[in-house]
Amino acid sequence: MQHTLCLTLALLGSTLAAPAQADLSYGGKNFKTLAAESYTLARLHGQFTDWLDAAYLKAGLPLGAGAAKGQTLGAALDARKADLRAAKGETKDVLARETAVWAHTFIKKAMPKFSLERGFEFASIAQTGERQCLLQSTLIAALLQRAGLSAGLVMVWNSQSGQESNLGHVTSVLRLPGGAGDLEVDASEPTPTAKHSGVLAWAEGGSRFLKASFGPGDVITAYARADGRGTVNPADLTFLSLGYVRSQFAYYRSERATGGLLGTGTGRATAEGLKRSEQWLKAALAEEPNNALAAGGLGNVWRKEGRNAEARAQDLKAAKIYAAQGHTPAGMLANLNWARNRAGR
């Protein structure tokens, strides 16, 4: 009996352990894998790092006033890493913020176009210079990580203008090395630092909908749980895991599949397109079963296909994920009401 109890507690404890935030360091294994997968899907040859290295030299935005002429992007980031290691006190935070501002400016200049339909693919950047929130945030986090800074991604459900969405945006976040808090670095905004008030990240044993509190300089000083169950210090928040990031790439491939969930490229959903959306959503949930957005999306696909019994069951399952994470957006509430009504509840 005691052995069974201990085993149960150990299993419960393992589910509460925070996953490692995504290692996306520029030029690292995970970064190259994400880019290579996109290139393969687009049947594009070459390496994305070669493209971005060339874009850095072309942009004329060297990282640091003393950067050597012709210095590669990787070398510039490594030099900044050394500078940050040597910096003391407030100087380290100033240098970290300066690096974030540079990354924001560089990404916007090197990739001037924004495309919801294609901009989440590394291949789209290389082919047409298009970007989107997930990819631009991945790139900014990658650059900051290579420079030795703690950075990552969070989902956004309430924007800085107060507009609520169903996890409809992604931003990168820099954790200031001095411990003052976090900075949202969002290339969708004209200024380097953003103030999105609602984010989703890992905190206190699970993915949580959180409300950010901002201090001077747009620094996030605390996060309040959206379910009202206390606050979280920035140092105790973990940015999205690699599995979650990979899951989001799969989600956007589902959402924007030709003739898929949104009818991209055809103006309407088609049987073939919905099947592709379903396949990508299943891939997203295989990477991260608690990706609420992907769970709800699968219900939407099945509903469009007329598979109402499966759609209702999936909507109820997705609603449980949202509830456990502390907030249910309006779109999911509408799906939940449909599922309950059709189920006779």
For each of the domains in the chain, give its residue range(s) and CATH number, in order of start.
Answer: 29-240 (no CATH), 243-340 (1.25.40.10)
Question: Per-residue pLDDT for 6 more than 80?
Answer: no
Average pLDDT over residues 82-93: 95
Q: How high is the pLDDT of residue 70? A: 78
Q: How high is the pLDDT of residue 7? A: 36
Distance (Å, rounded) from C-alpha 278 to C-alpha 270? 12
Average pLDDT over residues 2-31: 67
* Residue 14 banded pLDDT, cuts 50, 70, 90: very low
**Who has greater pLDDT, 255 or 7?**
255
User: By mean pLDDT, which of 13-17, 262-266, 296-300 is the weakest?
Assistant: 13-17
Q: How high is the pLDDT of residue 85? A: 97
Average pLDDT over residues 274-296: 97
Average pLDDT over residues 130-157: 97
Question: Per-residue pLDDT for 10 more than 70?
Answer: no
In 3D space, the residue among 227, 221, 193 whose CA is nearest the CA of residue 207 turns out to be: 227
Average pLDDT over residues 242-267: 95
* Residue 343 banded pLDDT, cuts 50, 70, 90: low
User: By mean pLDDT, which of 63-77, 91-105, 254-268, 269-283 is the weakest?
Assistant: 63-77
* Residue 116 banded pLDDT, cuts 50, 70, 90: confident
Question: Per-residue pLDDT for 16 more than 90?
Answer: no
Q: How high is the pLDDT of residue 325? A: 98
Average pLDDT over residues 32-50: 97
* Residue 160 banded pLDDT, cuts 50, 70, 90: very high
Average pLDDT over residues 101-117: 94
- Quick: pLDDT tens for 179-196: 999 999 999 999 999 999
Q: How high is the pLDDT of residue 13? A: 37
Average pLDDT over residues 213-239: 98
Q: How high is the pLDDT of residue 3? A: 39
- Please provide the average confidence, as pLDDT, over all residues in the chain: 92
Q: How high is the pLDDT of residue 312? A: 96
